[in-house]
A = this chain, B = another copy of it.
Amino acid sequence: MLQSKLFTKTLREAPSDEQSQSAKLLLRAGFVDKVAAGLYTMLPLGFLVLQKIERIIVEEMDKLGAQRVLMTGLVPKKNWDATGRWQVLDDLFKLESRNKDAYGLGVTHEEVITPIAKKFVFSYKDLPFSAYQIQTKFRDELRAKSGLLRTREFLMKDLYSFHSDQKDLDEFYQKVKKAYFKIFNRAGLRGKTYFTCASGGTFSEFSHEFQALTPAGEDIIFICAKCGLAINREIKDKYPQCPECGAGDFKEEKSIEVGNIFQLGTKFSDAFSLEYSAKTGQKKAVIMACYGIGLQRLMGAVVEANNDGSGIVWPKAVAPFDIHLLELPSKNASFEKRIRATVKKIYADLQKQGIEVLYDDRSDKSVGEKFKDCDLIGIPVRIVVSERTLEKKSVEIKNRNSKAAKLVKISELAKLEF
């Protein structure tokens, strides 16, 4: 993409009420715009990142055999009443239509997917199955001051699984755990995400969170020095020893929850009478679990974990582009023409190879401004073409996460892997 065509620009300052480092950087670099507290528009660069995160999640969900659906944000009050959650959920946005129909805006969708399952599940032969969506969630957060880490509206991947017995659920639960680690590793949180025991629910000792280490996190976790299992502060008192390995040595860290998985047992199937006929003919309640990842929060956490003083340092897999190609101005008009012709050719060649390039073709920016914007936006590889490099029939290549730049002959460019 030509940077001159990008309708956003980098900004000198983030809004003064913005506290988290990730939000400040994403706002200044033009990835997101703040509509109001807890509400962010994804601008073109931000949307590209969101799409890459979505693709990673979809690939891992597909590998699990989960089937993709799309439920509505408006969920009728009667669905919430069936489970009693209309009264219980503090963060449920409630509204009424002109016809006086009452709705809650979905915070999660057990109240919708369970009645759907009831229409299609009759026998043990119809189980197990799992369905997921990537869909807009709404939460009436009292405090939404952590940028993308806690918003009033966001895309969530929510997966629901339906099983005939606990053993089957346990097996699938383990598969999802592995898929979640793949997602967080691929997205740029490798080695920074901890499987964390948190307060359970009715049907299992724990629920499980995936906590990513970050100083901006709102959670505190205790990581077992021996086996790496983490325990959320909220239940730490109850577990002086690691529930996994029995060790008693923990490291305290600040973190942010990037995913969670819950065993729901029969809570929702009981509420909606979701039953199946077992082989014996006996009617039994379906056993359920649910699994969530907030996409914008994951994006924020990736930025929290990957930035430096100058800007964002995108991991390749979720970067908006693979390469930031910079054309530097020259005072010599004939050189300027040659630079432009060379960069255009490189831009076309890279794109033909399927490489995604942001080409800084802006002619009204200084060298300093171009480098500053480039560091702020944080694309993994920077390629610079200037008078100096052109004299050596070369370009300068620098990775965003290293200080060393190297000159590479233009004729050698096609052989490089980006």
Contact = CB atoms under 8 A, between A and B. Distances in A.
A354 interface: no
Nearest to A51: B68
Q: Assign chain A's interface to a size class.
A: 35 or more
A131 interface: yes
- Secondary structure at chain A's binding surface: helix, strand, loop or mixed? mixed
Interface in A97-132: 97-99, 101, 105, 112, 116-117, 119-121, 125-126, 129, 131
A69 B98 contact: no
User: Which of A99, A142, A364 has the most CB atoms of chain B within a 10 A radius of its CB?
Assistant: A99
A42 B36 CA distance: 30
Contacts of A97: 93, 140, 152
A289 to B, nearest CB: 15
A43 interface: yes
Contacts of A131: 7, 44
Contact of A69 (B43, B73, B95, B126): B43
A75 interface: yes
Interface of A: 5-9, 11, 33, 35-37, 39-44, 46-47, 50, 65, 67-76, 79, 90, 93-95, 97-99, 101, 105, 112, 116-117, 119-121, 125-126, 129, 131, 136, 138, 140, 142, 152-153, 364
A42 B90 CA distance: 28
A294 B47 CA distance: 20
